[in-house]
């Protein structure tokens, strides 16, 4: 129901074009709207989509590749040099057309880095009549041709990529979930910035009304000599100060309203009327559970694991480059040729090719060994750095949860302080009206009440800010007891 209400309110806001519309939103609705429609969310969705399709492209490297190659036709009519049996060269007229068709299938084998393939092909060559030859047609066929290519002592890129690239995709998905929570965090900031401006304006208007009433009361008392002229001037200054407060609060409200509208990506002129229940929920956070969930789902932890795998792959690559390198390839098939397809198929012969290629370093003056030692040192450096980052990451979560508990206690203290300041102001106002206290004491009580009100709202702001900080750190919603990890969606 919350999300449907957000969509309904958004539709209403988009329908207002000629004049500014006023719509009421709660904190949850602003967050939901930001996570659904904000420009920053759209960018995050594009990045996630790019990561998805990049992963699909990577996965295709491990699947069979089927290709059809055709040359239909290749026509050549020219004068070309032709080498004669005695070694001399003469120019001859050439007029021919060739056509070929090949269907091939290849499949990599991850564990060994081998590539196996199979193909079938047919070619036709037409020689047109010239002044030296008659017209002729020839066919060449390879009905079946299979082979393999096996790297020797080489770095297996397929094996390491299959371990690293899926983890990089998991990092990208986790970063999308974290970006959603970052957007929620920013939405909380904008929400309270505007809420503070709205409550400041309401408070300023209320103080202006009180200041006007007190000034009228002061004029009556001054006319009968019950107060001094300085007290009346003080009341007049309070009225002017209230007017200035209203002007400043109005400007702050307009600026905060525009900041929120721009953040949400709403182009229409809309005024947000924010609503917030200042009471806070009672939340219990288990530190061990929070750490376990964060270790499993945060992109930072996954990225550290990917860094170690990448460093290990670099060590393996450097090790492979220090010694003998080579490649073994082989193929077997049947081939035939003739003036027609029947003749070509009836005269099939074997076709075998085996090749062994070796590359042996003789002297590189320690270049390969140095590269290998550097990669080993980098691996140790990455491992040590990762351990430090894991400790810092876990300490950050522990400190955040401890700070959250203190912030929650501060909200209760701020609430009681605000209630006490309200009572004090009410009592001081009553005593002022009957002449028991002067205007200075009343102003002090008023300022104290306003300060405690702002402290109370600020404490609530810090509570929700701390809560959404922990949500971003752990990717867990402790209020609704659910994970915030975004599941894969069908593309």
Q: pLDDT 10s digit of each residue in the chain, 491 long?
A: 333 333 333 433 444 444 567 888 999 999 999 999 899 999 999 999 999 999 999 999 999 999 999 998 888 888 888 888 888 888 877 788 999 999 999 999 999 999 999 999 999 998 887 666 678 899 999 999 999 999 998 999 999 999 999 999 999 999 999 999 999 999 999 999 999 898 888 888 887 887 887 788 778 877 877 777 787 787 788 888 888 888 998 999 999 999 999 999 988 888 999 888 888 888 888 899 999 999 999 999 999 999 999 999 999 999 888 888 899 999 999 999 888 888 888 888 998 999 999 988 888 788 888 888 999 999 999 999 999 999 999 999 999 999 998 998 898 899 899 889 889 888 988 887 787 877 778 778 878 888 888 888 889 889 999 999 999 999 999 998 989 887 665 44
Asked if residues 119 and 145 have their Cβ atoms less than 8 Å apart, the reply is: yes
Q: How many CA atoms lie within 13 A of 392 on its CB side?
A: 8
2-57+162-307+381-483: CATH topology is Outer membrane efflux proteins (OEP) (1.20.1600)
Q: Which residues, including other chains, have CB under 8 Å from residue 131's CB and lie 6 or more apart?
A: 93
Cross-strand bridge partners of residue 80: 92
| Residue 271 DSSP SS3 | strand
CA distances, 228 to each of 78, 231, 240, 441, 442 (Å):
119, 5, 19, 16, 16
Q: Which residues, including other chains, have CB under 8 Å from residue 307's CB and lie 6 or more apart?
A: 382, 386
Q: Which residues, including other chains, have CB under 8 Å from residue 330's CB and lie 6 or more apart?
A: 147, 148, 352, 353, 354, 355
* Helices and strands in the chain, H and E counts: 10, 10
Domain ranges of the chain: 2-57+162-307+381-483, 65-109+114-154+324-360
Asked if residues 231 and 438 have their Cβ atoms less than 8 Å apart, the reply is: yes
DSSP 344-370: HHHT-EEEEEEEEEEE-----TTHHHH
Which two tokens mark 418? 């605000």
Phi/psi for 53 (5° steps) reads -70, -30
């Amino acid at each position: 129901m919350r999300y449907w209400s957000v969509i309904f309110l958004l539709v209403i806001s988009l329908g207002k074009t000629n004049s500014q519309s006023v719509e009421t939103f709660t904190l949850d609705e602003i967050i939901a709207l930001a996570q659904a429609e904000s420009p920053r969310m759209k960018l995050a969705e594009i990045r996630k989509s790019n990561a998805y399709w990049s992963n699909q492209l990577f996965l295709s490297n491990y699947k069979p590749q089927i290709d059809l190659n055709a040359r239909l036709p290749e026509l050549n009519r020219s004068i070309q040099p032709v080498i004669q049996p005695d070694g001399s060269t003469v120019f001859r007229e050439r007029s021919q057309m060739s056509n070929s068709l090949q269907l091939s299938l290849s499949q990599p084998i991850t564990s060994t880095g081998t590539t196996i393939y199979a193909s079938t092909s047919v070619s036709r060559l037409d020689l047109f009549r010239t002044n030296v030859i008659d017209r002729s047609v020839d066919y060449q066929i390879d009905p079946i041709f299979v082979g393999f290519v096996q790297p020797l002592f080489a770095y297996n890129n397929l094996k390491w990529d299959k371990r690293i690239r899926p983890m990089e995709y998991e990092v990208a998905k986790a970063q999308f979930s974290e970006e959603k929570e970052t957007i929620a965090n920013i939405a909380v900031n904008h929400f309270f910035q505007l809420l503070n401006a709205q409550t400041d304006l309401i408070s300023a208007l209320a103080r202006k009304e009180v200041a006007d009433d007190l000034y009228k009361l002061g004029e009556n008392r001054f006319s009968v000599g019950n107060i001094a002229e300085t007290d009346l001037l003080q009341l007049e200054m309070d009225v002017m100060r209230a007017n200035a407060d209203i002007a400043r609060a109005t400007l702050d409200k307009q600026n905060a309203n525009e900041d929120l509208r721009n953040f949400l990506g709403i182009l229409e002129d809309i005024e947000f009327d924010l609503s917030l229940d200042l009471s806070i929920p009672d939340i219990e956070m288990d530190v061990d559970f929070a750490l376990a969930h964060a270790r499993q789902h945060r992109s930072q932890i996954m990225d550290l694991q990917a860094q170690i795998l990448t460093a290990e792959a670099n060590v393996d690559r450097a090790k492979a480059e220090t010694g003998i390198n080579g490649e073994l390839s082989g193929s077997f098939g049947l081939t035939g040729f003739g003036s027609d397809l029947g003749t070509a198929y009836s005269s099939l012969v074997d076709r075998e090719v085996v090749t062994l290629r070796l590359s042996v370093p003789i002297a590189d003056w320690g270049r390969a060994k140095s590269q290998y030692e550097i990669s080993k040192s980098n691996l140790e450096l990455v491992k040590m750095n990762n351990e430090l980052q894991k400790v810092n990451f876990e300490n950050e979560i522990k400190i955040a949860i401890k700070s959250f508990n203190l912030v929650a206690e501060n909200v209760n203290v701020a609430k009681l302080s605000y209630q006490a300041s309200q009572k004090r102001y009410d009592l001081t106002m009553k005593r002022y009206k009957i002449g028991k206290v002067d205007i200075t004491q009343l102003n002090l009580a008023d300022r104290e009440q306003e300060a405690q009100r702002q402290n109370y709202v600020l404490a609530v702001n810090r509570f929700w800010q701390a809560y959404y900080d922990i949500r971003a750190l752990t990717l867990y919603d402790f209020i609704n007891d659910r994970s915030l990890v975004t599941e894969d969606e069908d593309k």
